[in-house]
Amino acid sequence: MTTESAPEAALDGATGWLIVAIGVCLLTVVWGTVFTFTVYAGELARTFGLSPVRVASVFSITTALFLVAGGSFGVFAARLPLRPVVATAGVAIGVAVGLLQVVSTYLGVVAAFGLLGAASGTTVIVVVALVPQWFDAYKGLATGIALIGNGVGVLVLPFVWVWLFARTDVRGAFLVVGGAMVAFVLLASLVYRRPPGRTRPDTTVDVTWLRRTFTDGRFLGAVSGFALLWTWYFVLSSQLVDMLTTFGIDATVASTAFGTIGGVSVLSRVGSGAVADRVGMRRTFLTGVSLAAIGVLVLLDGGSSVRIYASLVLFGVGLGAVASLYSPIIIERFGPENATAIVGLFNAVEAVSAFCAPLAASALVGLTGGYALLLVSLSGVTFLGAGLFYWGTDPTAE
């Protein structure tokens, strides 16, 4: 076997599928913990005496650091072996969970959740960037399967939180869920590595590389669109339970209904990957974002239970397509030699909408006294983001 063919022979093999399997478990607990915030927000407020504005700010700060610190560390990690990076993230998550057990102030909660967000973001970036590198023929399918974990987390964790809160407070609940996070992250640190031939980036990640990347008009269009098209998810992750209870849905039902999005997205992630391998990743991605934007508009008639659950299904289908395909699309378009760094940059820029969207949504609802203007605005922003991302990732435009 020639030296050139050795890296290719490693792709689509057993090691890749093992990385996928661990990724499913990892993302289930990590993504599920961070993005089911709407389910445990009330318990967090009661335990620490936080006002609604402070609770919203905790989520904004957590998700912003999830994307900024995780994304920035993703750029840095592009020059390092992956195992110590993942192990460090696991230790940091453990420290964050421990900190939550002893703090009693708003700033203490922010510190704990900020560290949790940064470490979780780093972990997710590694998974999202690594899986596509281990596959060629099954890249879309493998990525879709790996990111099932995101959907399973959003599906399962609401029920886990409800069960735990019937027996303990938010500190005890996080001790259980956080312990599972640490265990899976440290397990991943024993296995995760880049495929042969990609142990070092071909292009140095430095100021010159960053300047060249950020002066690429297509990159700017894609990364701006990416930040915009996720806005709907950040708003729903922080406010969906309150929104549904306003529409007349029982609070417990509203909490577990959030899992509908995750449940549907589980099937959508695998299906989207398989479809993308046949008709193209960008077309499948665009369709998924459009369905999510339509789902936002369906929520306008909040008094109908049928329409509410129809919107949740559309969100799940859209989320599955978007979450499973964005990383292979941007890695393929902007180069696999610095895959972790590219994915990290996209996530870091996305932090703007992660931080601003929940706070802006709360302010808009307070000003208008309802959700109509918010939902229309969210849908428009989502469609705009989809168009920019599609344009920016056009592989024929160099």
Q: What is the CATH number of the domain that holds 144?
A: 1.20.1250.20
Residue 322 within any structural domain of the chain: yes
What is the pLDDT tens value at each position of the chain, 398 positions in all? 333 444 555 676 788 889 999 999 999 999 889 988 888 888 898 999 988 778 888 988 998 888 887 667 666 655 677 888 889 999 999 999 999 999 999 999 999 999 999 999 888 888 877 887 888 777 767 877 887 887 788 888 988 998 999 899 999 999 999 999 999 999 998 988 878 765 454 456 667 777 888 888 899 999 999 999 999 988 888 888 788 888 877 777 777 777 788 788 878 877 887 788 788 889 999 999 999 999 999 888 766 777 888 888 999 888 888 877 888 888 888 876 677 678 778 877 888 888 888 888 888 888 888 888 999 999 999 999 999 999 999 887 65
Task: Please indicate, yes or no, whether the overall pTM of this predicted structure exceeds 0.75.
Answer: no
Note whether residue 328 is domain-resident: yes
206 is a domain residue:
yes
Establish how many alpha carbons lie within 13 A of residue 149's alpha carbon, considering only the half-sphere containing its beta carbon: 26
Q: How many domains does the chain have?
A: 1
Assess contact for 102 and 154: CB atoms under 8 A.
Answer: no
CB 265, CB 320: distance < 8 Å: yes
**Considering only CA atoms, which of 30, 28, 18 is closest in space to residue 191?**
18
Q: Looking at the domain assignment, is residue 8 inside a domain?
A: no
pLDDT of residue 177: 95
Q: Is 53 part of a structural domain of the chain? A: yes
Whether residue 9 lies inside any domain: the answer is: no
**Tokens 């005496």 label which residue?**
49
Instruction: Output the pLDDT for position 269.
Output: 73
For 101, the domain range is 15-392
Q: Give the whole-angstrom CA distance, residue 111 versus residue 100.
A: 9
Residue 3 falls inside a structural domain: no
Confirm whether 259 is domain-assigned.
yes
**pLDDT of amino acid 2:** 38
